[in-house]
Amino acid sequence: MSGSVIPSSVRRIAVLGAGHVGPVIARIALDAGFEVAIATSGSPDNLELITQVVMPGVDARWAADAVRTADLVVLSIPLHRFPALDPALLAGKLVVDAMNYWAPADGVVAIFQDQRLSSSEVVQGRLTQSTVIKSLNQIAYQYLDDGRRPAGSLDRHAIGVAGDDSDAANVVGDVIDRIGYDPVLLGSLKAGRILQPGGPVFGAVFTRSEFERAMHTAAVQS
């Protein structure tokens, strides 16, 4: 993680990936008051229609331009494309890994097959000049928008934040709070395994207490 700059707060967010997840994250981040850019591997001209219709106000850019000015980058590309991503693009950046490895649905990706590592540990191992935090992957994209609640709401839901760098995790946790969810800090990328497909909170919509109870139950049973 050498060379990474951890901002004290986040103002500008870049979202890489414009499939199902990326546009939803971009839209709710914009609603929360962040400046948001979105990019894919191709020309921003290809995103013009989707930005106008699905996320008006989000700036479509070339990936390098979006990343360069961002305080935080959300990585939401299809995971099978990750091995082809140039790590230099994200060097020095705080990166939120919102990807999931689900081989039965997406096919086998060799670098993610080592069961001793969480998928985000693999991502961090490749993005050696970035600081990776696992988050925004556990709740289905169809629910991310409607599931937001104001701080203090009894039915506010939780999103896990897993990282080896506590300062970076706290910064991401603040972003999660601002978009309308309670952040639950997990302490390490390895602990982020519970957020992955097959984990006890993956796909579930939990309040903080329900989330923490599921974590405890999983720890007892492991």
Whether 173 and 196 have beta carbons less than 8 Å apart is answered as no
Confidence (pLDDT) at 141: 92
Is residue 222's pLDDT more than 80? no
State which CATH number among 3.30.200.20, 3.40.50.150, 3.40.50.2000, 3.40.50.720 fits the domain covering 12-221: 3.40.50.720
Confidence (pLDDT) at 75: 98
Q: Domain residues of the chain, as ranges? A: 12-221
Integer Cα distance of 210 and 208 in angstroms: 5
Banded model confidence at residue 5, pLDDT cuts 50, 70, 90 = confident
Integer Cα distance of 139 and 195 in angstroms: 9
**pLDDT tens, residue by residue, 170-214:** 999 999 999 999 999 999 999 999 999 999 999 999 999 999 999
**pLDDT tens, residue by residue, 124-175:** 999 999 999 999 999 999 999 999 999 999 999 999 999 999 999 999 999 9
Banded model confidence at residue 3, pLDDT cuts 50, 70, 90 = low
Percent above pLDDT 70 for the chain: 97
Confidence (pLDDT) at 220: 61
Banded model confidence at residue 115, pLDDT cuts 50, 70, 90 = confident
**pLDDT tens, residue by residue, 48-105:** 888 988 899 999 999 999 999 999 999 999 999 999 999 999 999 999 999 999 888 7
Whether 62 and 99 have beta carbons less than 8 Å apart is answered as no
Whether 163 and 134 have beta carbons less than 8 Å apart is answered as yes
- With a CB cutoff of 8 Å and minimum separation 6, the contacts of 24 are 141, 144, 145
72-75/131-134 β-pairing: unpaired
**Structure tokens that stand for 25 in this block:** 């994250």
| pTM (predicted TM-score) | 0.95
